Amino acid sequence: MKKSNKHSRPPPKPVWAYAYQIVAPQPEDLLGTIKSIIDQENTEARRGARSWAGRVVSEEQVTHILVVTDSPEQDREINRRLEAALQRLKAGFSITAPMPLDGDALPAPATS
């Protein structure tokens, strides 16, 4: 028997997603501070070799802040900064529970 020369790779880090849901859609001009906070965290995460990405998605009836990160924790400094900025805007919001995005935790697609 031959031994495999391939090096085994460590399993990928788990990735989580959650969203802030702002009850009423917010005008773009009011979201400047929020986008600034998100851009800053995106940059800091890249520098620190962490996984974190945020994006504002505006829809007709709701504005979302979508977050993909390497941690399910929602009491980090970035969350406190986002929530403080949303409170200053007097924007009602909720936050979804973090959901794992790795292949093992996702439900299998439905088949017909």
CATH of the domain at 29: 3.30.70.600
Q: How confident is the model at residue 105 (pLDDT cuts 50, 70, 90)?
A: very low
Note whether residue 4 is domain-resident: no
Note whether residue 91 is domain-resident: yes
Asked if 95 and 16 touch (Cβ cutoff 8 Å), the reply is no
Q: What's the confidence (pLDDT) of residue 96?
A: 97
Could you read off the pLDDT of 17-33 as tens digits, one per residue?
999 999 888 888 889 99
Cα radius of gyration (the chain): 18
Note whether residue 2 is domain-resident: no
Note whether residue 26 is domain-resident: yes
What is the value of pTM for the model shown? 0.77
Could you read off the pLDDT of 52-92 as tens digits, one per residue?
999 999 888 899 999 999 999 999 999 999 999 999 999 89
Domain with 87 in it:
16-100
Token digits of residue 32: 């400047």
**Nearest residue to 59 (alpha-carbon basis) of 24, 20, 19:** 24
Q: How confident is the model at residue 3 (pLDDT cuts 50, 70, 90)?
A: low
Note whether residue 106 is domain-resident: no
Per DSSP, helices labelled H in 48-106 are 77-88
Note whether residue 36 is domain-resident: yes
Note whether residue 82 is domain-resident: yes
Note whether residue 41 is domain-resident: yes
Run of H or E including 44 = helix 32-47
Domains identified in the chain, total number: 1
